[in-house]
Every structure is written in C-alpha cells, then in structure tokens.
Structure 1
Amino acid sequence: MHKGLSILLIFFIAIVGSAQTLPKTYTAYHITESIIIDGVASEESWKKVKPTDLFIDIEGNKVPKYNTSVKMLWDDTHVYFFAEMEEPHVWGNLKQKDTIIFHNNDFEIFIDPDNDTHNYYEFEINALNTLWDLFITKPYREGSPVLNDWDANGFKSSVKVHGTINNANDTDKGWSIEIAIPFDAFKTSYFHKNVPKDQFWRVNFSRVNWNFQLQNNKYSRKENDKGKIEHEYNWVWSPMGVINMHRPEDWGYVYFSSKKAGEEDKFKIPEDEKVKQILYRLYRKQKEYHKKNNRWATKFSELSDDDSKIEGNRVIRTIENHQTGFNITVISPFTKRLFIIREDGRIIQKLD
C-alpha cells in the first residue's frame, strides 16, 4: 500500500470509529465501442478493465461464501455495469417491477452523484432480471419519503444464468448481469450537464443472498424452526461498518476517467472528504445527544469531542442552533472552504 493511502486509512479509522474503514475507490474508463446489453462481457472494452475487489460482508469483517465483483465503463451518454456472482443455486420468483426485489437474491447499485447524501438512487435486480428502481430524497434515518414510482427512463439490463434457474436438480456456476443507465436518468433539470468526466460519484454495490428451502421442488427463503424467515446475508463492495446501506457518506468513490479503457489513471480521494467525515461524526453525536437530553448541544465539549485538528492542522468550527435544528460548520484546513452540515445530514459547501 502506498504511504499516502496508509495515512488516509489511519485517518478514516480514527474519525469514524467502530469497524468502518477507508471507502473503496474504482476508476471507470471512457469508451467509444458500442456495448450490447446481453449479460455477457464479450466486448473488448470489458476485457481491458479490471473488476472491483471481491465483495465483503457489509460490516467488513467476514468473507462471503460466494464471490462477487463488478466492472464499470462509461461513454458520453451512459454508464455501464457488469457484475459476476457465484451461486450454486440460482433462483427467483419475483417478476413484477418495483416489488421488494431483495426478498430474492439480488444485485444492487446505490448512486449519489453530488455527494451530499440526499437525492440518491437505488437499483435492485434479481436473476429473473426484474427491476426495482427507487429515488430517495433523504436517508431513511431522516424519515424521508421513498419514491417507488420513480422510473430510470432508458435503463437496460440483461441477465445470463450460468446453469439453469429454478432447477434444484443441478448445480449452477452463478449468474451475471449487464446494465446500461443513461446519464439523463440522473439529471436534476432539463439543462443539467451531469456527465461526470474526470469527476467522481459516491457509489456502492450490494448483493443480498438468502439461505433457501425447497417445497414441492420450488425455492423460497429458508425458515427457522419457529417458522420465521432466517436473516439474509449482505455482501458489499465497500464495507459500511454497520448493517445499513443507507449511509451514503460511507459509500465508495467511482472516478470517471476521460482516459480510454486499457489505459491507466490514478484517483486520490480529495482532502476535503476528511472534513466531511468529521462533520458526519458530529452530526451523529448531535443526534444521539438530542435523543438523550431533548435538546441540541451548544458546544463541542457536550459532544465529548475536543479534537480540533485534522492531521495536525487546526480546524475552525462552530455550532449554531436554531428553532428547527442546527448547523455545524468547519473550515477546511486544506482548501479554506466552508462546509456546513444541517440537522438532516445534508452537507452544504461554500465554494470560493
């Protein structure tokens, strides 16, 4: 591991606590080759790029029993995904769009293009290629509405089963899925120029996997001896440290390089992301304090937080409470920009 990444790793562990580690990074390369969405990564562009690290348990401390990895590419109009999943018993029974797809084994994509934890996207697809696409205005911790009837217009996907689906009489190798999503699906306005050339998005991938049982030779989620469905497994690309995918501040970083597939590019997580992680830590402490004391803390000492430095650099920070919540501000020692986190967890960045 490079020295710079080692320092950054130590920093993230120190400020986030628990089992959280440095978010993963991935570089998606630009292509001009046409991609046929057929569930098979047969194009030369797919062959030229590396997959992500193998998925890990969502808390980051267990190795899944089946491997999962993802590749990404992009062109001027779409972002592409190709996921491969080992699975000796490929099954599914949900065929209606926008049903709760994670009640089957599934593959999931989470995307927050502007890195503010609000207005993000979730896509879930099972081995029958049934889609659940959602638009989420705020993380569930804020009691926000979820727009289940939102549609990612132009979304295309195709599944290839390496075996026979819903057949308990054989052993499968697994399944793969190929996806294309137009950048237009992520636009916030008609004139929004949102193709992220040489920029990053916050992204994570999840795979939900269930123990199964057979009844009349049909698959279903396994029940325990009390008739309750056993808990699912949650395997992810970038570990969350907790069993909760809806903490966008802990997702990985995908950098959309303008270099071509087959070339090499380097991406470093911006220094100001360290400032944001401090703000999220303070946000959680404020929430805990309010739950316990029925009021917001007015000074950092009430939050048991006396650390006012980042890597030896003094941090200027303030707490401002108001009738509906609070603002916590931090001035970045790296760029001198002002960052504000609100009571709903959204970060506002004051640009130069």
Structure 2
Amino acid sequence: MSGTAAEQRVVVASLLVVGALALAGCQEVKEPTTTLTQAQWEEVKQQILEAPPEKVRFSSGAQFGGAIELIGLDVQPEKPKPGQEITLTWYWRCLEETPVNWQIFVHFDNNGPPPMRQGMDHHPVRDLYQTTRWKKGQIIKDVQKVRVRNDYPGGAAEFWVGLWNPANGKRMEVSNQDKVKHDGQGRVLVGKVQMDAPPSKKATASKKSRPKVYMARQIGADSPITIDGKLDDAAWKKAARTGRFGGTGGGAGPPGNNWAKLLYDEQNLYIGLYGDDDDVWGDLTERDSDTWTQEVFEIFIDPDGDQKDYIELQITPRNTVFDARFPVKLGKGSGSREEQINAARAWNSSMETAVDIDGTLNNPDDKDISWSVEAKIPFSDIPGGAPKPGSSWKINLYRFDAPRKDGKPQRQVAWSWTPAYGFFHNIEHFGTLRFMGQRGPVEVKPVTTPSKADPGDKPDPTDESGVEPDRPE
C-alpha cells in the first residue's frame, strides 16, 4: 500500500469519528466495521428515522428471531410494468442487536400459470448499513431500486421477504408466526400488486441492456477443480451458467453462444468461459501482447466499483495471457492512453489458466466447434483480498471473436450487456458478482399457502433479462 493511500485512509477514519459524534443529537449509530466514505456515512445517517412513517402501503409487523421487525413496505409505482424500474422502501426496527450480518432476501412471485420468480436480495441501505451495525430501537429506512424483468407476466404478484445468513445458508425464524402470513420456511408475505402484461418480445428485445447479477457458490476441499480448460469437473457441472453474452452496445449482439461459470473457495476465484468458434486461431505468444486485437476472453474485476485499483485479465486460444492492474480508470491516469496501459501491464498476476479447443488451432481449412478457458485467480491478486459470504463485487466478462477468412470486423460480446458504450472500462456499467457461501441450490418454487403448495409449480428458469440471478443448469 502506498503512503498516499494510507494517508487517505487515516483522513477518512477521522471523518467517520467526527460523523459519529455528530449523531449525539439524534439516534446513536453503531460505528461501521468497514470504512465508508464521508458521503456514504451521511447517507446512512439520513436513513435512520426518529419514528416510523405515519402511513405505509403494506403494513407488516413481522418479527424475525425476536431481533428484527419489518414495519412495512412502500412500492412505487402502485401498478408496476414489466421492464420498469420500481422503488421498494422497506421500514425495519431493531428489537435486539445481532452479531450476524443478515441479508434480506426478497422473492417477487407470480403464481402463474406459468409461475415466475424474480429475486431481489440485498443488504440494507445499499449494502452500507448491515444488520450487525444496527442499535436497539433504531428504525431503518431501506430504499431499494430494482428493474422488473421484461418478461414478467401480468396479474397478481406477491412480495415475500425474510432474512438469511450467507455464511451458512440458514434463514432467520419468524418469531410471531401467529400474527403474520408465512410459509413455514422463514418467508413472510408482505403485500400484493397487480402487474401489467409484458409487451411483445419484439418490443422488449432492445431493452435487455442492463447490468447483470451472478451468484457464485463456494466450494470446499471435496470439490477440486483441475485447471485444464475443459470445465468438466463435478463442481463446474453443478455451477450456474450465465445467460448468453450480448452485444456490447446492447441487444442480442452477433450470433454465437458465449457464457461463463464462476465458483470460489477460500483462496481463489475460478472462472470458466465458453465460446462457439468455427475458426479458432491466434498467433500472439508473448505475455502482455496486445491480445485484444485478436481472439480473446477478457475479465475485469473492481471489487468495490470505485473505478480505482482494478484488474484486467485476458486469455487467448493459445493461452497467452495479458494481465494489468490500473490504479485509476483508463483515461484518467497520468500520461497518454498507451502509457497508462503499459504501466498497468507491468504488473503480473499469479493466476493459473488453461485452454481447451474443440477443433484445431490455426487451421483455417477445417471447421472448429468452440474453445473454453479455465482461470484460477488467487484472491491475493485482487484488490481488497478474499470476499466474505454475502458480499458483492463489480465485474465484467467479454469475448472477442476475430474472423480472418472473410475480412469481417471483430465481433465483441459481453456478459453484462450495458457496459461498453464505446469503452470497456466503464466500470459503472459492470455486472455484480455475489459470493453466496457454501449452501445448496436455492428453492425457487412459489408458495401460495403452506398447506396447498403445488410441488409441480416451478418458476420459469430463463434469465435473459439480467435482473434475475442466473440459475443452475
């Protein structure tokens, strides 16, 4: 860590102490266990209320574990539409302090037919004020903005909510079950809204261009991964697969099937990448060559999304690696663009990579099928180090397909469909990677009542909208 960075952290810490003293005139706020900027700390203070709202659209009173009470929920607009951004305002009361960093899970369920669920999990106050920081008696206003899936069906849709521990996958028990509607599995029904029917597929095709979310599962020593590029280990077979990569300017993009899978353990992040390709080629052999000029997969990781201190990793079909670490967003550093790139690629990662080709490399006379990449990235290479279960990072994944037979331009696709706008370093448009800890598959079956749930009802597993987290295959 540079001296400048250390000095900045000292300044931020001092500001936080001042901010905490300023709260003496209102409710006391527990000092965060992680460093917040002054602006973030001010945002947190504004969400701690002196009293509950006089009126709330959906009153609840549900209590979880005797420690947290849901006062109610406001939803705007009153009648949401598919593809529309909605604002959910949750009001919580801390009954008892808790040592557990509980995450709020929200299921937006339409019981069909066909049934549909959209997950809206989050930590309170934009991940800034986790439950371990709450003080007894505090009332927390938690504003959440979510875009409804483009293909969400019309009709009645229900908001179910609960709290779960990402470290072990366990849900917080509803402690006043006799006073609220619940499903016996830690979920409480908060309210119901009427959804307009979705527009036609043609009308929504151009709107599927927004950041995506991927939920990565943690694996243990009993699920080893061999870095050979084949993605055939048992852990990979159980992992969720992203939806098909889309155009870097929005929309479906060029033809072809490109996707990724992500896993992690205590020391490493594992990324598997797959792409169709009828002519797999590459002639760059030196590390840190200009790999983006040919066929390549790219990985961008900025854990805190602040557009500072992030890494870019690239792997070609020849397993030639480009790795760079940027202190600030490319274009905002000192020197020319080329000078900034050269300074960044002087850094070398310790990641392990492998490539598997279904076909032959550099043979334009035959027809190949695909190529895939396996990358094992130590958390020690990544700014901030290993993540905690329930935390989120900003990342993006790209594929460049460079035809050489017909002289056509390079085809570019991305996992998170909104990122480029002409520049792949636009971190503010990256997708979100959530670390879910060691837990089993998420049960996605909607429940009408605990006693009459139809075991055959399952929501549509398709995730092309980018709002619903990708599901296991």
TM-score, with length taken from structure 1: 0.63
Q: CA deviation at 1:3?
A: 6.7
Distance 1:170 1:232 in 2: 20
Structure 1 residues 63-86: Cα deviation after superposition (integer angstroms, max 9, x where no partner): 321110000000000000111110
The correspondence for 1:81, drawn from 248, 271, 276, is 271
Residues 133, 148 of structure 1: 8 Å contact kept: yes
Matching of residue 232 in structure 1 with residue 371 in structure 2: no
Matching of residue 149 in structure 1 with residue 346 in structure 2: yes
Matching of residue 264 in structure 1 with residue 442 in structure 2: yes
Aligned partner of 2:293 in structure 1 is 103
The correspondence for 1:8, drawn from 124, 130, 146, is 146
Structure 1 residues 138-170: Cα deviation after superposition (integer angstroms, max 9, x where no partner): 2224245341110112x0000000011111221
The correspondence for 1:53, drawn from 235, 239, 243, is 243
The correspondence for 1:211, drawn from 384, 387, 403, is 403
Matches within 5 A, 1:1-352: 2=117, 8-9=146-147, 21-32=209-220, 33-144=223-334, 145-146=340-341, 147-153=344-350, 155-187=351-383, 194-213=386-405, 222=407, 231-239=409-417, 240=419, 242-260=421-439, 262-264=440-442
Distance 1:35 1:141 in 2: 37
Q: 1:94 to 1:196 in 2, by over 3 A?
A: farther
Distance 1:130 1:64 in 2: 25
Partner-residue secondary structure (3-state), 1:140: coil
Residues 387, 435 of structure 2: 8 Å contact kept: no
Structure of greater relative contact order (alpha carbons < 8 Å, 6+ residues apart): 1
Partner-residue secondary structure (3-state), 1:249: helix
Cα root mean square deviation, aligned? 2.5
Aligned length: 240
Residues 279, 403 of structure 2: 8 Å contact kept: no
Structure 1 residues 199-253: Cα deviation after superposition (integer angstroms, max 9, x where no partner): 1110110011223138xxxxxxx3xxxxxxx642220000126121111111000
Q: 1:116 to 1:176 in 2, by over 3 A?
A: same
Q: CA deviation at 1:197?
A: 2.5
Distance 1:110 1:48 in 2: 24
Distance 1:137 1:19 in 2: 33
Distance 2:382 2:283 in 1: 29
Instruction: Look up the equivalent residue of 1:201 and give its one-letter code.
Output: W
Distance 2:118 2:236 in 1: 31
Partner-residue secondary structure (3-state), 1:119: strand
Q: Which runs of 5+ in 1 are unaligned?
A: 12-17, 215-221, 223-229, 267-352
Structure 1 residues 108-157: Cα deviation after superposition (integer angstroms, max 9, x where no partner): 0000012211111100111000000011122224245341110112x000
Distance 1:161 1:91 in 2: 10
Instruction: Look up the equivalent residue of 1:196 and give its one-letter code.
Output: K
Residues 163, 172 of structure 1: 8 Å contact kept: yes
Partner-residue secondary structure (3-state), 1:137: strand
Q: 1:185 to 1:175 in 2, by over 3 A?
A: same
Distance 2:312 2:346 in 1: 12
Structure 1 residues 253-302: Cα deviation after superposition (integer angstroms, max 9, x where no partner): 00011134x52289xxxxxxxxxxxxxxxxxxxxxxxxxxxxxxxxxxxx
Residues 285, 318 of structure 2: 8 Å contact kept: yes
Residues 152, 185 of structure 1: 8 Å contact kept: yes
Residues 159, 175 of structure 1: 8 Å contact kept: yes
Instruction: Look up the equivalent residue of 2:354 and give its one-letter code.
Output: S
Distance 1:80 1:10 in 2: 30
Q: Which runs of 5+ in 2 are unaligned?
A: 1-115, 121-143, 150-205, 335-339, 445-473
TM-score, with length taken from structure 2: 0.48
Instruction: Look up the equivalent residue of 1:210 and give its one-letter code.
Output: A
Q: 1:244 to 1:97 in 2, by over 3 A?
A: same
Structure with larger Rg: 2
Instruction: Look up the equivalent residue of 1:63 and give its one-letter code.
Output: G
Partner-residue secondary structure (3-state), 2:405: strand
Residues 8, 22 of structure 1: 8 Å contact kept: no
Distance 2:277 2:146 in 1: 35
Q: 1:187 to 1:252 in 2, by over 3 A?
A: closer
